A and B are shown apart, each in its own frame.
Chain A
Amino acid sequence: MHIPDGFLSTPVWATLDLAVVPAVGYFARRAQGLEQSKVPLLGVMGAFVFAAQMINFPVGVGTSGHLIGAALLAYTLGPAAASVVLTAILVVQALVFQDGGTLALGANVLNMAVIGLLAGYLPYQIWGGGRWRRPAIFLGAMLSVMVSALLALSELLVSGVAMPATALRVSIGLFMIYGLLEGAITVAVLGALESMNVGFLRVPEASVSHRFKWVGLAAILLATFGALIASAYPDGIQRLTSEIGIGSHGRLRISTPLANYEAAFFQSGWLRKAAAGVAGVVVIYGVCALGGRILGRQRGK
């Protein structure tokens, strides 16, 4: 799902635009290495993803879907290079095909080319070398689609775009179908590639510590399926939260900090608003830069 401009609230798009800068810089540096020799490969593989979307896969009666490609790229080019390719694709889609916004580019890149991609790569990195390879490929491809779609959806909700509960449930159901389809397509395409016997697939390298990987995967699975369950039983969740609220004598409300961001500062002077915004941006940038640094150092070992 490519979010166009005009959908996200200013704090959301601005924060995500800034947050994505260090991530993209980090991946670009890792993918580039010491030389720019990989430029033609990554560029052409980006064109490949566009072109592959013209090839239809039958699903259900009279409908068809197509490859999205994030996981496929990650398993063949490695996560850093895949992230650069996906970012390039999103840039071309936004500028040339009016698919996805320009201010919203940060959000779209973060959803698909950073977090969605990493979520899709993690199962492959853990199980990709062994007996559970195929299920890992399937799960990873499915997660890459569902995680990015759920992120996009939550960014929209945080921005105050309202959706009736049924529509929410339907769209999450659709994400699930897209995810399953992406899993099936990715497994089939990788099978075709393996039968060509050219060694396109990368055997995952054990670089990140195992504990880190497991915690990451657990968090992703929990968040993804948590969101699914929450959407399936929104009434139950609501009742639960209201009961907790009553039980604790307070008026506890589940509130997302960003949703109330604008509202909370609305009455206050614009200076405070701006200062708070800048401070938030600096903090997020710092965290991201630090994270990139730490990841980079871990990799260097």
Chain B
Amino acid sequence: MHHVVLDRWGCGLSPVHRRDPRAKMLAALIFLVALATSHQSYLAVSAVYFALLVTAIFAAGLPPAAVLRRAALVLPFSLVFAAMSVASGDTTRAISLVVKSYLSALVVLVLVSTTPLPQLLGGLERTAVPRFLLLVVQFLYRYLFVISEEAQHMRAAAAAKGGSMGRVISRRRHFGAAAGAVGVLFARSYARAEAIHLAMLARGFAGHFRPLAKSSFRKLDAAFLAGAVAAIVLLRAAIEAWT
């Protein structure tokens, strides 16, 4: 599965991995905003920011080629719109779409591959984000693999059945079979959720999750944040002053 590789990257022990999730999130957010709001000299800014991200990738000990390739998942979408911009005569916009969407995806990727998702969610607690939503995201991520595996089995089973009948089933039947499979997957997921709820109750769950981890925002985290923000803001200011 797709996200397993992120999990593997996320359990590294580099200094970047060890920073407090809130410091990293804030730095990434400021990066995104600084990039999104830069206009005239955005190409120079992007080049410098790209260098910043590559430095972070190396500092975190992530495989650079794999990370850069994965961030390119955004490109098919961007390229379509870039092509349309070119077709309507706006080449500047086309370049900006591609560059900005790629860099934005890259910074988020660097963030999540140095901070496991549960830690990110923990960092978002006590912000405006409702805790209920964070818990739902946490459970979604936890059971993503389990339910996807189930779906894969069902797909394989359906394919095996179709094959053994030795003839192509009609499109209509195929549609109905797919709907049936989704229905069964729904029912099984529902049953699983009930089993999880029972297991929670069996262990004394009384309606509210209590967090275990205590957050500790250290001086080093503050220093990292200050350094990152200074780099992001000052580099952009310098470039804009210079051009």
Contact = CB atoms under 8 A, between A and B. Distances in A.
A258 interface: no
Nearest to B139: A43
Given A44-B189, A57-B175, A196-B187, A7 B130 contact: no
A141 interface: no
A28 B99 contact: no
Nearest to B169: A58
B207 A161 contact: no
Interface in B5-43: 6, 28-29, 32-33, 35-37
Contacts of A85: 136, 140
A221 interface: no
Interface string B150-177: 1110110000000000000001001110
Given A50-B147, A95-B117, A160 B183 contact: no
A45 B154 CA distance: 17
Interface in B201-224: 205, 207-209
The size class of the interface chain B forms with chain A is 35 or more
A212 interface: no
Contacts of B176: 188
A43 B189 CA distance: 10
Contacts of A160: 93
Contacts of A188: 175-176, 178-179
A15 interface: no
Interface string A83-123: 01101110110111111011100000000000000000000
Contacts of B2: 96-97
A98 B67 CA distance: 12
Contacts of A54: 148, 151-152, 155
B66 interface: no
B114 interface: no
B187 A193 contact: yes
In terms of DSSP, what is the predominant structure of the interface of chain B? helix
Contact of A161 (B97, B142, B194): B97
A6 B74 CA distance: 11
A10 interface: yes
Given A40-B196, A103-B32, A162-B85, A97 B73 contact: yes
Contact of B33 (A24, A32, A103): A103
A41 B200 CA distance: 12
A87 B134 CA distance: 10
A193 B182 CA distance: 9
B108 interface: yes
30 contacts: A5-B32, A5-B105, A7-B97, A10-B37, A29-B132, A36-B135, A36-B208, A37-B197, A39-B132, A39-B136, A41-B197, A42-B140, A43-B135, A48-B147, A52-B185, A84-B132, A84-B133, A96-B112, A97-B73, A98-B105, A101-B101, A101-B105, A102-B32, A103-B32, A160-B93, A189-B186, A192-B183, A193-B187, A196-B183, A200-B190
Given A43-B193, A92-B141, 13 more contacts: A4-B101, A5-B101, A7-B97, A36-B132, A36-B207, A37-B207, A40-B196, A42-B136, A51-B148, A51-B150, A58-B178, A88-B140, A192-B180
